[in-house]
Structure 1
Amino acid sequence: MPNYCNRCDAKQYHEDGSCTFENKTKSHDLRAELTRQRKNGEFVDVVVEVAGREFPCHRAVLAVTPYFQTMFSSNLAESKAKVITLHDIDSGSFSKILDFVYTGEILIGKDDVQDILQAAHMLQVEEVLECCQRFIENNLCASNCVGVMLLADMYGLCDLKTTARRKAMFQISEVGQSEEFLSLSTQQLLDLLGDKELGVEKEDDVVLSVMRWLDHEPESRKTEVSRILPVICLSRVRVSVLEKLEVHPAIQESPECLAKVTATKEGHFSGSPQLMADTGREEAGRKPSCWITDDLAIIIGGWKAVTKERYSQNPTPPVPLRSIICMDIDRDQCYHVTDIPTPIVGCMSVASAGRYLYMTGGRASSSLHPDPGGSNTPSKQAFLYDFATDTWTRLPDMPRGRAGHQSAIVDGKLYLVGGETASTLFNMFSMECFDIKAEAWIQPPKVPAIIPSPNLKVIACGGKLVLIQGIKKKSRFCVHALDVKTQRWTYASRYVEAEDFDADFRATAVGNKVHFCVDMRMYSDVYNYDVDKETPSIEEKQNTQDVKKELHIVHAVCDRRKRYVKGQKGIINTISRKTYKLLVGQFRSFYHYGSGHTELILPFALFGHGFLATKKSRVGWFCRDQLATVEKEKELHDLLTYYYPSSDDDY
């Protein structure tokens, strides 16, 4: 007699001495036997007819599915019928589902997954539904995710719908070019484009996709444009695309929409700071994604910084950058904006008023260039650059040459502060003033006694010209503010715990407050100066009623600075964007650097440049079509990416 106990996979003894034996292969053998009987027509007791094709089956096996179990246990005629006919189902799909019921295996392909899904949904075979969902998820792409989203919604597959929707949201640019995108209803389109998490890198793609959608059924959809336009971030659409939208028939037939598109286009050219509000973006619609910013870093001229290693091998003067470049923070891409129309290529200052950049002063050669006969004197030249139209205008020469200075525009006047002048190299805080409307240099305001310091930031804020100094010897922040209307100066100072003001001195203006700090890498406490206070002071605490929860400061910094030749002052090789969060406490609230740090490597290291942190919507960025990219040089990339620092390296 065969010893069946030895074939058991498991056994369990009980308290009464009895034992339960389990043979796990028995269920597999049973499935195999039932499958053999079905194929040979043995002991079958019902035939299922689908689309003219007959499937002999065992009634008991079919009853494991809720659909047939309900059928066989009811008082309907099918409960005892020898032949059951199913309608609205594909015979091939039923065959595969029947194989699954008998064997637990099913073959699903791209050509039949939807038919199998439909059949499984009708027959209530949950296991097959799950298999179809997994198969579809594994084959999701930009070209089919909209169709999958609609399919999942039809069959109530919430998880699949969520996955497909997420795919569509994060690849909306590619999704907008698919054929399935055109089949969306108005409400489905609004739900997708109006989602706050929509991953849009270029709003141009959204507009072009919407125009494709409108053109697919022009007569029925032209009236929907007034509902769709508010969910588009028009303020982030390039003028060339807005011009296409402006002449679209659906926009032309809606005076309200036409006025909104036209106003946005004109706002780009004017560089209006109210552009976001003017286009209705603040009141309703989708805001830009949290990872999409309006920040733009502009760099004018300078010289390519030389490392000690390169200089030891080839001690030649640094190469000048005879152009304006800019770093798109969102795309981590540097672009060539325009060439500089003068041999003066470095130590210039730049300030902006809307789409206009004012470039002043500078030098023809760097500190590492030979200067026979003292010919490298500060320049008097001044230029106006129109970012939107890519045109230069020569302005009247400055009263005296100036280099290495800073500048800001307040109340229609351009102020130049500090730097070296042609008259004396030590007059750090002399000033010049240019009346923009009159196009003339006028008498500058008197400058109070200020301790010379290389750590100077000049910022326009609330009708005031604000000069911020970090005085290393006294470990103090000092602020001098000029009310340009009354010509009155105010002063405030504060002790700060900063080891090195040269490391990373950051400042920005938001509303009527100037925020500034010295970055310590591990921590950074942000101070603020309220220009509207009668008795201004430098404060660390914040009034939570009138400040933002997050503060973003874009700055140019230098990593591995000790790897470069000395004498190249103010080297930058990285654009840094840091986020400072407002910490609200019981006794005080303050900004503190915690997380949210973006560092973008420049194409090459520079010194003697002009730097401006601005906003795309203000400077006319969207008036220009795609600019030429500036490729990153391998030397800098390797230095910052692969170099292992020594203990004396300065970060």
Structure 2
Amino acid sequence: MNILKLFPAYHYTTLRCPRKIAIHETPSFIYLEQPSTTRINMAAAQHENHDRPVRPRSYQVRRYMDGFLGNIGDLQKADVLQDVILQVEGRQFPCHRLVLSAASPYFRAMFTSSMAECRQKTVVLQGLDAAAFEKILKFIYSGTLHMSLDKVQPLYQAADLLQLDYVRNACSSYMAMNVERSNCLDMYKFADVFSIDAVLKQCLPCIYKYFAKVASTEEFYGLSVNQLTEIISHDELDVREETTVWEAVVRWVQHSREDRLHHLPSILPHIRFNLLTSDDTAAILEHPLVMNISGGPELKDMILRLRTSSVKKRIGMDAEEMVLLFRSKEDDLDTRAMLCVNPRSGEYMKYTEVASVLHTVLAATVTSDNDVYMLVEESDDRLSLLQFNQQAKHVWKEKLSLHRSHPERRFGSPVERLFEVDGHLYYLAVQPTSGMVPRHKMTRPSVVLKKYQWLTDQWKDCSNPRHDELYITKAASCGGKIFLFSNTEMHRYDPRQDRWNRGTPPKSIPWPGTAVAMGTEIFCADATLSNMAVYDVEADSWRELPGWADPDRNPNLLGTFFALEGQLHVLADFNALEDDDDDDFDDLDHNDKDSNQRIYVYDRLTGTWKDSQVTLPHGPWNMGGSGLPVARIHTCLPRHDSNRWDDLRMCGYSSNVRHGFVARKPKE
């Protein structure tokens, strides 16, 4: 019988392999071909039609393997042929010794050796969580593994005990991918006990970044002394002052003073006393923990010696509030660049590798945790959400893609924004649905609001406002709500209720051009900055403000607001530079020349705009009318890649003149 006829529905391939076993895989099965010797019948060889030599083949059918595992699962569900009962935390799990032994080296040793469990009908397993063991059994019998953040640690412990490497590795990967501020300390302690390097590598940077916040949690107080010193000794601790580290140590010791006070002498060398003021040092020397510990005089001498050390600053001590600027593909320049500017000091940093797949920057926002997110356009119907990591070698990390609604109905670019409200990201899009047609034929724009769900890594649709206006252009988030408005309509979105309500529109501004939130207020202005108003979100009322008052120098393009260090700023574009023949231009490349964009600061007491005397380099930078994001940027980072960003430099200043000039590169 020809063996191939046994499988008429399968497709196969052949390959001669005289020296080694060859494995061939097809969608239906795998077969193995082995070398063989062939006996030749001499009489048959003389026959006119010579028969081909017969070569043995072995077939491994995928459907059979899948069906076999499924049949084993069916036997388990039907409680058929079970020959052992495993008891975990009082719960009983009837199983098959053969299946358990095939899946786990732990059970193979238990049931194939001379251990007492080999002969017992009921085996009690110690040190396991019953719910986790139930998931383990489901995986053994079905190959399916379900995880959640609240169950992954006992699941890892069970897999570690039962020597299930696949489950253990899957748990490690799952934990590493889901490290965040709320769980970084708990996962760090767990990973430290089990020496899970992949999880530790994700937890420690997260702890460093959010140290000021996580240092007041119960998880922090549960750290061991070795874990505590490992964390506070690191250079990348994101703290503005060293007193934050000392105060965290004090809280840790006082949480269990009798057991921890004697550790203080070994902890203090990890505090950088050379970064403290003399007043701060004196306060520490007079602190009850230092005064009452045995060996107090020696401890004080050690602190005074540490003040003379030259330990460098922590990474967060060199962070500055900076406005983030981007380019779009319409600028016909390097769209991968991001410029971070401090208008007060004139310093800037230019990141030259924003993202390898970056096209057009649509929107960006900075969360309360100083996380920077950017929305870029992949295509007409696909958007991508990127997260900025200042401490990582690869600066931008892609989070997920987002489908743009109704791309086929577009008449111009939609107004798209990113907001953070109560720790959640929101995507807002106002899509025009009419082109250049008479007003009476226009239709209302389409409004889309989506909420990013961290746990599922998906976007969820939110409710949409019922609006009448044909032009809705400006949006801002303030006071835990999202505001969408024109000069005739105002809509407020409450995330807690997933509901929109009406508010008071800025009627004094015919065409709102830019808006930004600061505190509990929203500042808004038209394209020329001549009409300005401020909205009180609590009182639902607008109040007019003095606008741009220099008739000889008006912005020729849409200005863009941003709030930095409690003051309102605007990025404005003016006419071309008046000193194009400046000799300094000859010494620099085209991309090193200053643009004609300037930053102004609003003096609310006098109602006037004041020139910050900062001219932006490498311009122009895209503005778009939305509020520009502001973040704390680390100005002294370890250099992972010499092409990643430029050194910290100074923007151009103009002294007693009304035009900008070239920003000179620092000397090598």
Same fold (TM over 0.5): no
In our comparison, the structure showing a higher alpha carbon Rg is 1
Shorter-normalised TM range: 0.3 to 0.5
